[in-house]
């Protein structure tokens, strides 16, 4: 061992420096671009839905499916460590659902989503929700090929959460304040404080307030979804003729850049 710095070089050998400058998530990003091309070939708008465990992601998706099933054909990919429970809940509403069980992984990655697409009838869908593993840390770092990030903050959490988990709130194209039907019982949660906390990490723009249970505020959310799908359809028509799938062709969208931003954002 080298006596100068403790490295593995021995005297008399010539140490060379090799420049790499390669992102450690490059492989995931490449696959995410590939997944995005699957969506674009079929004119499907895909959303990465993220939040803490228990913020109401699945309930929101159930309410959204009920509200939108006449207008849009929806599919859902569910991510959890274990169980098929959430996919079963979604299937009861008559829409295709695939369950990814990650085992120990705390986030979905592009490979898992790509594999789950096998059972998803993309040609028959307009909108695909991918419900990430409940976690406010890791999912923010992994592009899974979606077009937009939606992050939920429920009123049963702390109203300073955006400041505590700034990376994920910063990455969101839209933030939803959920379970607002419970606000009368939770005097410790101040929506104005939550919004101020969001402004601090995201800049201007208020979250949409809604309740999946009562349906209050759902119209603004479904309106946003319809506008996103329509805009995406303009860029990637659903003509039933997918383009030749070129694996070497990388799509240009970066992580977390939807085509438009939230109302007022």
Where along the sequence are the contacts to other proteins (CB under 8 A)?
A: 1-2, 5-9, 13-28, 105-107, 109, 135, 137-138, 141-142, 163, 166-167, 170, 199-204
Nearest distance in Å: CB 80, other proteins: 16
Q: Which is nearer to other proteins, 93 or 114 (CB)?
A: 114
Asked whether the CA dihedral 136, 159, 163, 216 is positive or negative, the reply is positive
Contact 33, 145 (CB under 8 A): yes
Q: How far is the CB of 216 from other proteins (least distance, A)?
A: 29
Quick count: other Cβ atoms within 10 Å of Cβ 151? Answer: 30
Nearer to other proteins, 107 or 209 (CB): 107
The single residue listed with the structure tokens 């933030």 is: 175
Return the closest-CA partner of residue 130 out of 163, 97, 152. Answer: 97
Residue 203 Cβ vs other proteins, minimum distance, rounded to whole Å: 4
Closer to other proteins by Cβ: residue 67 or 206? 206
Q: Pick the closest to residue 234 from 209, 259, 215, 216 (CA basis).
A: 259
> Closest CB to other proteins among 16 and 244?
16
CB of 149 to other proteins, least distance (A): 15
Comparing CB distances to other proteins, the nearer of 26 and 192 is: 26
As given in the structure block, the two tokens for residue 265 are: 């954002």
Please name the residue that has the structure tokens 């708008």. Answer: 45
Query: Within a 10 A sphere around the Cβ of 261, how many other Cβ atoms?
Result: 13
Question: What minimum distance in Å lies between the beta carbon of 171 and other proteins?
Answer: 10
Q: Look at residues 66, 98, 92, 62 and name the one whose alpha carbon lies nearest to residue 80.
A: 98
- Is 140 or 155 the residue whose CB approaches other proteins more closely? 140
CB atoms within 10 A of CB 68: 19
> What's the closest the beta carbon of residue 109 comes to other proteins, in angstroms?
8
Residue 77 DSSP class = E
């Amino acid at each position: 061992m080298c006596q100068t710095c403790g490295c593995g070089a021995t005297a008399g050998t010539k140490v060379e420096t090799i420049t790499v400058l390669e992102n450690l998530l490059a492989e995931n990003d490449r696959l995410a671009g590939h997944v995005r091309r699957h969506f674009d070939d079929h004119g499907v708008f895909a959303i990465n839905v993220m939040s803490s465990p228990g913020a109401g992601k699945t309930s929101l998706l159930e309410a959204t499916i009920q509200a939108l099933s006449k207008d849009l054909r929806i599919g859902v990919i569910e991510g959890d460590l274990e169980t098929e429970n959430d996919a079963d809940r979604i299937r009861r509403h008559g829409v295709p659902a695939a369950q990814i069980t990650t085992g120990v992984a705390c986030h979905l990655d592009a490979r898992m989503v790509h594999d789950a697409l096998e059972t998803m009838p993309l040609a028959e869908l307009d909108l695909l929700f991918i419900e990430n593993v409940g976690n406010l840390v890791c999912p923010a770092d992994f592009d899974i090929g979606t077009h937009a990030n939606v992050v939920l903050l429920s009123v049963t959490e702390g109203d300073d959460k955006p400041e505590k988990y700034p990376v994920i709130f910063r990455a969101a194209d839209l933030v939803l304040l959920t379970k607002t039907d419970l606000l009368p019982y939770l005097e410790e949660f101040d929506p104005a404080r939550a919004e101020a906390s969001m402004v601090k990490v995201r800049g201007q723009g208020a979250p949409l307030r809604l309740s999946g249970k009562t349906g209050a505020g759902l119209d603004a959310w479904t309106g946003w979804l319809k506008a996103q799908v329509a805009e995406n359809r303009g860029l990637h028509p659903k003509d039933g003729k997918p383009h030749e799938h070129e694996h070497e062709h990388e799509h240009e969208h970066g992580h977390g850049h939807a085509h438009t931003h939230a109302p007022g954002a």
